[in-house]
Amino acid sequence: MFKGSLVALITPFREGKVDEKAFAELVAWQLAEGTHGLVPCGTTGESPTLSDAERQRLVAISVEGAKGKAPVIAGAGSNATEHTIEMTRAAKAAGADAALIVCPYYNRPTQEGLYRHFKAINDAVDLPIIIYNIPGRTGVDMSNATMARLARLPNIVGVKDATNDLARPLRMRAEIGADFCLLSGEDATAVAYLAQGGEGCISVTANVAPKLCARMQEAWQKGDLASMRQINERLIPLHDALFAETSPVPVKYAASLLGRSSPEVRQPLWPLSAETKEKVEKAMRGAGLIN
C-alpha cells in the first residue's frame, strides 16, 4: 500500500507560529524532488507542541499540495485514546489517505492495553492506520504478537518500525504475513531494513535530501544495488548528523541552510549547540546539498 521514501515533515515556525507558506512550499518541493509520500504532524513535525487546529491545518495543506500525486499519512496519535480518535477523524475529514498512530507515550500500557487502544481507533474511524512503534520515545514496545492480533483488524495496515531491531521485520513477516506494510523509522538502517523485508522508510533525512532518499529507494526496487549502496554511503554522515541532538532540532537547522524553514523549534526543544551546527553543515556539504 505504501512504499519508498515517505518524508516525516518538519513544521516550519516563525516567531512562534506555524509558517503555513513555508510548509506549503516544502510540500511542493518534496513532490517535485520525487518523494513518494508525505507524513505531516508526526514526532518530526513536533506534534506534541501543536494544537489540534494547527494539526488539522497542516494535514489540509499536505492534502491540497499532494493533489493525489502522493499519499498523505497524517500523524494523529496521542497518549489518550479518545483524543486520538478525534484526531484520526479530523485526518479523514481533511482527506488523508491514512493515519500514523504512535503507541501511547508515558502511560506505558500493557500489550492488552495497546491492543485495545488501537482496536478502539480501528472501530471508530474507517481509515487505514499505520502503527508507530518507537520504544525509545514512548517507553513501551509493541510485541509482534500484539501487532499480529491488530493486523487482523480491517484498518490496521502496517507499522513504522523505529525499534532499530533488524531481525524484527523478518519475524513480523513470518508472524503477520506478506500483506502487512513494513516501513522503517530509522534512516541509518533503512537499506538494511529493505533487505530484511521492508518496503520503505518514513524518513527524517528526506526533509533536506528528498531526491537522494527517493532515488535510493527506487534503486532498491529496480534491483540496482550498486546505485543504492552509493547513495546510502553518501547519506550516512548526514543521517548521523541529523540525530546528533534531539530530532528534529538538527534537521530544522539543516533545512534552514537550504532556505526551506527557519531553524526555530518549540520548547521544550532548544536550538543546536555551535558544535552540532558545524557537524550538520559539514554533513550537508559532504552530501552535496550545500556548497
The residues pairing with 181 across neighbouring beta strands, listed in sequence order, are 158
Q: What is the Cα–Cα distance from 117 to 82, expressed in whole angstroms?
A: 9
Spatial distance between the Cα atoms of 90 and 186, rounded to a whole number of angstroms: 27
> Which triple of cell numbers denotes residue 11?
513544521
**Cα dihedral across residues 244, 246, 248, 254: positive or negative:** negative
Residue 49 vs residues 70, 91, 173, 254, 287: alpha-carbon distances, Å: 26, 18, 35, 21, 31
Q: Are 280 and 242 in contact (CB under 8 A)?
A: yes
Phi-psi bin for 288: left (phi > 0), alpha (psi -120 to 50), beta?
Answer: left
Catalytic residue among 160, 252, 277, 279: 160
Mark whether 106 is an active-site residue: no
Residue type, 243: F
Q: Which amino acid is at 69?
A: K
Distance CA 167, CA 268 (A): 34
Give the cell for residue 233. 554511503
- Alpha helices (runs of H) in the chain, residue ranges in sequence order: 20-32, 52-66, 81-94, 111-124, 135-138, 144-151, 168-176, 190-195, 210-222, 225-241, 249-257, 274-286
Residue 132 among the catalytic residues:
yes
Of the candidates 92, 115, 132, 277, the residue annotated as catalytic is 132
The CA-based dihedral angle spanning residues 130, 135, 137, 139, taken in that order and rounded to the nearest 10 degrees: 120
Catalytically annotated residues: 132, 160
